[in-house]
Amino acid sequence: MAQLDAQELAQAFRRQFEMEPKIFSAPGRVNLIGEHTDYNDGFVLPSAIGFYAHVAVVPRKDTKIILRSTEFEQTFEANISSAGLHKLGGWCDYVLGVAAQLSERGIQVPGANILVHGEVPIGAGLSSSAALEVASAMGFLSLAKAEMPLKEIAKLCQRAENEFVGAHVGIMDQFVSCHGRKGNAVMLDCRSLDCELVPIPDSVKFVICNTMVKHELSGGEYNVRRQQCEAGVRILANAYRGIRALRDVSLQQLQAQASSMPEIIYKRCLHVVAENDRVIETARMLRAGNLKSVGKLMADSHASLRDLYEVSCAELDLMVEAAQGLLGFIGGRMTGGGFGGCTVNLVEEQHAAKFAEMVAERYKAKTTISPDVFMCSAADGAGVEIEGRR
């Protein structure tokens, strides 16, 4: 996809709306480990990456929101009147959902002309939607001359996706799009929203490989996984006191209840409980500089997502396999919701370019699909940008 910088986006905006816009940006993310743990009140370890959603905005005198994108033809029009905003179907709903949530909180969002440019590949598991939500929230808050703490912005964007779009996602993506920090992963406790920065060694690159199989979270399987986890919690809460989420369950407690739950529910719970432990261990090993152990934990995570949580797919498994044994490879796994999208690989910087080439070649040989492969490092979140650091 052609990438526009802020100036080009402003020019495109002026051409379309004949006004001078303000531009707000928020990044996508890659999750190093801790998959499908966020909505179980657990732990995650994502980094923001240097692909952004940019939202160019100017206020209007009426209550209309006119929405265009540099990538898609269609213009959407909505009205922030007393009747409220409604889902229109399509990418515009991420923006409208945020406006609706702000209005619900009593923040007077004016009508606006909006042009969106997304660099984050769509449906690749790199949080193009969270990036768009967070950038939109920053834009609307500025138009409304209102302020909101970053954590509240992240929660509001999550609610927009849950309630307006209908994808019952957790808090990880919106949180790291706000709070990411250059050179670091963010270990987030998704219950308390306390977070710690975990430095990524300078000698390590993220090589992100897109299977080119698109995933879709707003339907089916993602929400089914959430329901299965909730079913597990109901059974475990009967057996033990103080269980509110899978976060509260130890491996021993879960194993002791294996016979009291359907096998499929047990498998889902087993993934989540063990994955939480892996996140904490990965952060510890990264801090200790033990990259070999980090690689092993990532491999275990992938196997668990494939066999227990069943959210991988043939292409993701092939992409993970394609990385094995390549020079400089530290560890790799599927990243994000699954059912397609990307793998993330930690690779020694000096070998990263060759690794990217080889992994693409191997994947293509097996699938006939040419994958997109990106070399990235951990980037700053939107919050750092609005504090004027960039």
- Which residues are known to be catalytic? 173
Binding of ligand GLA by 371 (CB under 6 A): no
Minimum distance between the CB of residue 131 and ligand GLA, rounded to whole angstroms?
Answer: 11
With respect to ligand GLA, which residue has the nearer C-beta, 56 or 157? 157
Element (H, E) at 150: helix 150-159
The verdict on 39 binding ligand GLA (CB under 6 A) reads yes
User: For the CA atoms of 351, 353, 356, 360, what is the dihedral angle to 10 degrees?
Assistant: -120
Give the C-alpha separation, 76 to 173, whole Å.
Answer: 25
Q: Torsions phi, psi of 19, nearest 5?
A: -145, 165
- Residue 38 Cβ vs ligand GLA, minimum distance, rounded to whole Å: 5
Q: Which is nearer to ligand GLA, 38 or 93 (CB)?
A: 38
- Region 223-282 residues binding ligand GLA, contact defined as CB under 6 A: none
Q: Tell me if 133 contacts ligand GLA by CB under 6 A.
A: no
Alpha-carbon span 56 to 25, nearest angstrom = 9
Closest CB 386 distance from ligand GLA, rounded Å: 22
- Mutual orientation of helices 150-159 and 172-179 as an angle, nearest 10°? 150
Segment contacting ligand GLA (CB under 6 A): 31-39, 90-98, 284-292, 374-382? 31-39
In the complex, minimum distance from the CB of residue 341 to ligand GLA, in angstroms, rounded to a whole number: 9
Closest CB 358 distance from ligand GLA, rounded Å = 27
Instruction: Give, in degrees to the nearest 5, the angle at Cα 232 between 226 and 235.
Output: 145
For residue 35, is it left (φ>0), alpha (ψ between -120 and 50) or beta?
Answer: beta
CB of 129 to ligand GLA, least distance (A): 8
* Cα–Cα distance, 339 to 213 (Å, whole number): 8
Residue 66's φ and ψ, nearest 5 degrees, are -105, 125
Q: Which is nearer to ligand GLA, 217 or 245 (CB)?
A: 217
Nearer to ligand GLA, 79 or 218 (CB): 218
What residues between 158 and 217 interact with ligand GLA by CB under 6 A? 169-170, 172-173, 217
Binding mask 336-365 for ligand GLA (x = CB under 6 A): xx----------------------------
Provide the mask over 307-336, with x wherever binding to ligand GLA is found by CB under 6 A and - wherever it is not: -----------------------------x
Which C-beta is closer to ligand GLA: that of 150 or that of 169? 169
Least distance CB 268 / ligand GLA (angstroms): 13
Within 13 A of 325's CA, how many CA atoms are on the CB side? 3
User: With respect to ligand GLA, which residue has the nearer C-beta, 115 or 133?
Assistant: 133
**95, 109 Cβ separation under 8 angstroms:** no
Q: Which is nearer to ligand GLA, 25 or 40 (CB)?
A: 40
The Cα–Cα gap between 206 and 332 comes to: 9
Counted residue by residue, the chain has a size of 390
Please select the residue that binds ligand GLA; options are 21, 28, 38, 232, rule is CB under 6 A: 38
What DSSP element (H or E) covers 43? strand 43-44
# chain residues binding ligand GLA, by CB under 6 A: 11
Tally of CB atoms within 10 A around 184: 18
Per the listing, tokens 């699938």 go with: 367
Report how far residue 209's alpha carbon sits from residue 320's, in angstroms, rounded to the nearest whole number. 9
Place of tokens 């879709």: 216
- Interface region with ligand GLA, contact rule CB under 6 A, candidates 32-40, 228-236, 286-294, 345-353: 32-40
The answer to the question of residue 35 lying near ligand GLA (CB under 6 A) is: yes
Residue matched to tokens 């929400």: 223
Residues contributing to the site for ligand GLA (CB under 6 A): 35-36, 38-39, 169-170, 172-173, 217, 336-337
